[in-house]
């Protein structure tokens, strides 16, 4: 699988991932001699940064933390590269001082500790050779201010029993045409009008699969829902209810991606 972000500090690196879903504080949160994470609030506590590719949403804390990264580089205890969702001053300046390759605008939540990555920061490319990306089309049907969600049956291959939009693996290159076909097959609805198609939203499965979700939002004018074997129940919910459903990963994020 390949991820493309934005160059912060150019360079090449390869190694195992050390990933956290929380921001990391360098000053006080990382030992500046050993590179061991000391932050009691970090899930990485006790881990060492050296020889690994650090993956975090962004940094936090004092800007003096930049010099912690520089000190780690002098002691050969710095990470080989840094990948973040959004570059912040602390990590960016530290990466410049320490000459650690850094890329931002990466969906860091699809990477997990132990994944192997190859980073070409000059090209803003991150390759994860052991991960497989699969394209998925997910459609949200709107009617009178509500959204159609369906609960997946026990016969489908993944996320059984979870609520989702009308979804299916993308076949071919025309995502909208495939979305319309899935809607007709899974709900029996044909009178739909495209309102918006959002950018790709990526979601990590329970294994080495990353789902590249291509979200679409349609207006559904009329007609009753007729489910096929893939789903066992449906509801029309207001958007605020999406967060409370026992749903497939990134369901709400996929819907919000269609809002612009």
- Which DSSP symbol is given to 86? S
Half-sphere exposure in the Cβ direction for 253 (13 Å, CA) = 13
Q: Are 35 and 18 in contact (CB under 8 A)?
A: no
What pLDDT is attached to residue 222? 84
Helix (H) and strand (E) counts in the chain = 4, 18
- The pLDDT value given to residue 158: 87
Query: Quick check: is 62 catalytic?
Result: yes
Residues of the chain with pLDDT under 70: none
CA distance linking residue 193 with residue 217, whole number of Å: 9
Burial tier of 232 (Cβ tally within 10 Å: 0-12, 13-18, 19+): middle
Q: What is the pLDDT of residue 136?
A: 96
Pick the catalytic residue: 25, 62, 158, 164? 62
Which residue is it, tokens 């506590």?
45
CA 60 from centre of chain: 21
Residue ranges and CATH numbers for the domains of the chain are 2-127 (3.50.30.10), 132-257 (3.90.79.10)
The conformational region for residue 174 under phi > 0 = left, psi -120 to 50 = alpha, else beta, is beta
- Residue 157's pLDDT is what? 86
pLDDT value of residue 61: 87
Q: What is the DSSP string of 220-244?
A: E-S------TTEEEEEEE-GGGGGG
pLDDT of residue 172: 83
| CB proximity list for 232: less than 8 A, separation 6 or greater | 151, 152, 153, 154
């Amino acid at each position: 699988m390949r991820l493309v972000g934005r160059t912060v500090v150019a360079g090449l690196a390869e190694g195992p991932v050390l990933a956290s879903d929380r921001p990391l504080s360098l000053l006080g949160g990382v030992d500046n001699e050993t590179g061991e994470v000391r932050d009691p609030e970090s899930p990485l506590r006790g881990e060492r940064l050296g020889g690994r590719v650090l993956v975090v949403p962004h940094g936090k804390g004092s800007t003096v933390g930049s010099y912690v990264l520089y000190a780690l580089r002098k002691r050969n205890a710095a990470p080989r590269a840094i990948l973040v969702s959004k570059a912040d001053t602390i990590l960016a300046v530290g990466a410049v001082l320490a000459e650690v390759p850094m890329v931002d605008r990466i969906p860091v939540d699809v990477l997990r500790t132990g994944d192997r990555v190859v980073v070409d920061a000059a090209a803003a490319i991150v390759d994860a050779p052991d991960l497989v990306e699969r394209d998925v089309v997910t459609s949200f049907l709107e009617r009178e201010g509500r959204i159609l969600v369906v609960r997946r049956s026990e016969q489908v291959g993944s996320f059984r029993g979870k609520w989702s939009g009308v979804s299916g693996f993308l076949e071919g290159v025309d995502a909208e045409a495939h979305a319309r076909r899935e809607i007709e097959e899974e709900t029996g609805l044909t009178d739909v009008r495209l309102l918006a198609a959002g950018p790709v939203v990526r979601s990590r499965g329970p294994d080495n699969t990353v789902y590249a979700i291509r979200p679409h939002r349609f207006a559904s004018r009329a007609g009753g829902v007729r489910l096929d074997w893939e789903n066992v129940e449906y509801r029309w919910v207001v958007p605020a209810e999406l967060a409370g459903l026992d749903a497939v990963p990134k369901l709400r994020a996929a819907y919000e991606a269609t809002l612009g």
